[in-house]
Every structure is written in structure tokens, then in C-alpha cells.
Structure 1
């Protein structure tokens, strides 16, 4: 995807990424974190504002900074970097709310043709993983680099 995105700062492990959203509400620090799960090669994608006090991801914060496309493109660039390093990784992603999950679905749908060249993409529907299709309201997403 050749979309504008923010510059990422990453740890050497490429597990944790940080960037700053710049928009109509000012500069807002963001975090993208890939957390290991109990399943081998399965990671949870966490994303949100950086809690200044704890340094953790606040995935319930509502920034409305006017740059959502650029922010999502930045998250996607972190997914590319992470899967360059961890080729066998499966990444689980869902929004912290139904409306955020819907935003992710819209973003995937909008850029699906390009993303599908590089990733296997599945959606969770009625407790089953199925190939992603545009127009279906999935509960979560699972992706793996081809």
C-alpha cells in the first residue's frame, strides 16, 4: 500500500512500535504491540494511544485526531515489518469495540486486493475462521504473510 504513514520507532525485536499521530487535536503518541499468545506463532495485535503514566496501550482512548487513514496505514506498515521478521506468525486483530472492529473491516476491504497479494486474510464469523470477503461483518481477523 502506497499511502501516507507516520514514521515508526521500533525495538530491535519488532514486537513494540511507537509513532506520533499529528492532527487537529495535536500530537498524540501511539503504540502498536504484538503480544505472544499461548499458541505457537500466534500474536495478538494491540494498538492504541500510549498511556503516558504506564507506557501501555490504551485501546479504549478516542483520539479523533483527523488522521485515521494515515494511522491505519502506519499500523499496516508495522504488520509488514513484523511479518518480515517473523514469517510464520499469525496475527489476531479485533477492535476493542464493535465500531473499531468495523473500521478495521472497512480498511481491510478498501485495500483488500493489494493486501491479499502479501497476506492470507481470514475473518471470524459465527465462531469459525473463514476466508475474508468484503461486505461480511466479522468479529475478528487473522492474517499471515504469504
Structure 2
């Protein structure tokens, strides 16, 4: 993706946590991207949270710091790095609100051709027994993505 991103990341040794500062109209806000193992084999949940001053994690507050695209590009970089190190793992993510899910769906749809080069992208469809390959216009509840094994090159 050819969007500006936050390059100054603090990354855990096992790549399970990426932290950065969102800088925008509301000042500097610490953000954290976590990859957490789920009960499903080889599936890890991605979450984006705000880190409060007391260290508490908050995934409910919408900050609107004016850097949405830069944050989304930073998430892409984190997923790219994580899956480069763990190519067999699936990453699951969804928005905790309808608006966030719509944002993720739009961002992926706008960049689907490029993202599909690097990743297999599937959608979790309500009441479906299996995930389906994601396509533009698809109404989904969450994403499952995994590195295209043949695309292990670095940018």
C-alpha cells in the first residue's frame, strides 16, 4: 500500500504487540496492535486499542485524531510483518461497531487488488457455515486473512 504509515513502531520480540503514537489534531495518542491466539487452531485475533495514560487498554473510545488512513496503513504493515514471521497463521479481525466494520470493509475493498497479492482474504458471513473469499460489496461480520505463501518477499 502506498499510504503514509507510522514507521516508529515498538515491536515485541514475538511480534504479538506493535505500539506507536498517533499524532494528529488531538495530540499524540498511544495505540497498540495486538495479535492474540484464539480457540481456533492457527487463528489469531487482531485488535487495535488506545493505551490510556494509566496503561489501561481501550477499544471503545473513538479519538478521531485525523490520521485514519495512516493508522490503517500502519495496521497493514503490522499484519504484513506478523505474517512474514508466521505465514501459516490466520488473522481474524472485525470492527466492534458497525461504523468500524464498514471502514475496514471499505479500506480493504479500495485496496483489494494489491492486498490480494500479499494475502488470502476471506469474509465471515452471518449464518454461513464457512468463510467465503472476500469480494467488493460483500456484507461480512469479520475478516480472515493469511499470507499468500508464494508471496514471502519483502517490500
TM-score, structure 1 normalization: 0.95
C-alpha displacement at 1:114, in angstroms? Answer: 0.2
In structure 2, distance between residues paired with 1:5 and 1:85: 20
Residue correspondence of structure 1 range 23-42 to structure 2 within 5 A: 23-42=24-43
1:55 to 1:13, Cα distance in 2 relative to 1, 3 A: farther
C-alpha displacement at 1:120, in angstroms? Answer: 0.4
Give runs of ≥4 in structure 1 deviating > 6 Å. none
Deviation per CA, 1:86-131: give whole Å up to 9, x if none: 1111000001111101100001001110000010001111233111
C-alpha displacement at 1:55, in angstroms? Answer: 4.1
Number of matched residues?
Answer: 145
TM-score, structure 2 normalization: 0.90
2:113 paired with 1:124? no
User: 2:152 is matched with which residue?
Assistant: none
Q: How large is the RMSD of aligned CA atoms in angstroms?
A: 1.0
User: 1:54 is matched with which residue?
Assistant: 55
2:10 paired with 1:9? yes
